[in-house]
Each structure stands twice: as structure tokens, then as C-alpha cells.
Amino acid sequence: MEEALLRVAIPHEIGKIVGVASQTPPKAAAFTEAFLKNSLQQPERYDLKNMLSHKALILKYHRPKKDSAKRSSKKAKGLNARQKRALKIFQIKPEHQKYELFLPLHELWKQYIIDLCNGLKPTSSPQSVQQKLLKADFHGAIITVVRSRCPSYVGTTGILVQEFKHIFKLITKEDRLKVIPKRNSVFAVEINGFVSHIYGSKFEQRASERSAKKFKVKGTIDL
């Protein structure tokens, strides 16, 4: 516990210590005694005149009270998975499943990737670009399925509107919402002539988790 200290010396110096040098010693002594009575814990237990001869006195310390509301309140909890499903917060309404509605998002994503990769110049190192794309956010990217164990997925192209741990949700030019599993699929992303391939089986993470993960530099196993 921190304690405030009032340093006092002999009685004839009391006026200087409490900042009342212009007062006479009797007035200064009376002021000091009154000050000590208000500052000491249980002043009746002490001989104030005798205490003035000591070098230091421990004055009363008031511990700041904690806000009871903050202490009793709990952190606000977010919605759990069941509540999110009930509210359908991840579902895109049919009237919003329009390719043209997400074109501005695609333009923003292109500028974001260009800035992330320092302009995507022809002299840019492919390995450096790939390392940055591993942690990039792909919402708004135009993605094409180039390989898949399910032949019906191959050739599907659309703007990525939602990414989950195991799936991509794309809006196609025909205004259809396609759900493509990441596992056993290979996706192509084109940015200003630079084509990058995403191996879905190695990409089974949420975007937020991928941005903080450290990837090892090693070859990618093809399907």
C-alpha cells in the first residue's frame, strides 16, 4: 500500500515545512496539529506533540474504491454458432445474389492486392507474391475452379463473397450462388496478368487464422 509521508522536523521549523513560513510558530503548530488530526488514522491513539519530533509521519491513505459496476459486470459474450445459424447472419438473401452488386468489392480487392504486393510489377518475384497471397484476404477476388475431384465444379468462375474454413461461396455472372469445397480442389486467381493457384486442401483455414499463421517454405503436393 502506498502511503503519503509528511516530513516534519523540530517545532520551530514547522512553518517552513507546511508552507506557512509567514505564520508565527504557535499558529504553525496549531495548523500542523489540526492537519495531523485530519490525516492520521485514529489520531486519538497518538501523542501529536511528541510525534512532531520525529522525522516522518504516516498519514491516512484512502485506497481508491473500484467501480462496483465494473467489478460485477461480465464481458459481453458474442453469439454462439447456434444463435448465428438461427439469425441466418451468414446467408445471402436471394435479392442480393447479383454479380453486379459485388463488382465494386472486386475493384477494391484488386487495389488491396496491388498495394499488398507493392504494385505487382513484371519484375516482382513470384515467390514473394505467393508468400503475401497466402495471408491475404480473398473476399472480392474472381476465382475459377481449374481442378476438382467433382467434375461439375471445374470451370466455375465467380466473385468470392464468403470464405469459411472448408468452403468458398462464389457469385457467378449468371447471378447464382455456388458453394465450392476447398478440399480436393484447385482454384486460379488472376490479378493484372499474374495468375496464382490456390490448393484448397492446403487452404482449409479461416481468413483470420491464415493471416496470423506462419507457413513453411516447401513444395505443394498436387492432387
Q: Where are the domains of the chain?
A: 5-58, 92-212
| Percent of residues, the chain, with pLDDT higher than 90 | 29
**Structure-model confidence comparison of residues 140 and 223, the more confident one:** 140
- The 10 Å Cβ neighbour count of residue 222 is 8
Residue type at position 131: Q
* pLDDT tens-digit map of 48-64: 666 666 556 555 556 66
Residue 47 has pLDDT above 70, yes or no: no
Q: CB of 186 within 8 A of CB of 143?
A: no
**Pair 8, 14: CB distance under 8 Å:** yes
Q: Is 9 left (phi over 0), alpha (psi -120 to 50) or beta?
A: beta
What average pLDDT does this structure show over 193-217? 77
Q: Name the phi and psi angles at 132, rounded to 5.
A: -75, -35
pLDDT value for 30: 76
* Joined grid coordinates for residue 205: 483455414
Cβ count near 205 (within 10 Å): 16
Is the domain spanning 92-212 CATH 2.30.30.210? The answer is yes
46 confidence band (pLDDT: 50, 70, 90): low
Assess whether pLDDT exceeds 50 at residue 84: yes
pTM: 0.59
pLDDT range class, residue 123, cuts 50, 70, 90: confident
What average pLDDT score do residues 126-155 get? 88
Closest by alpha carbon to 197, among 149, 129, 151, 139?
129
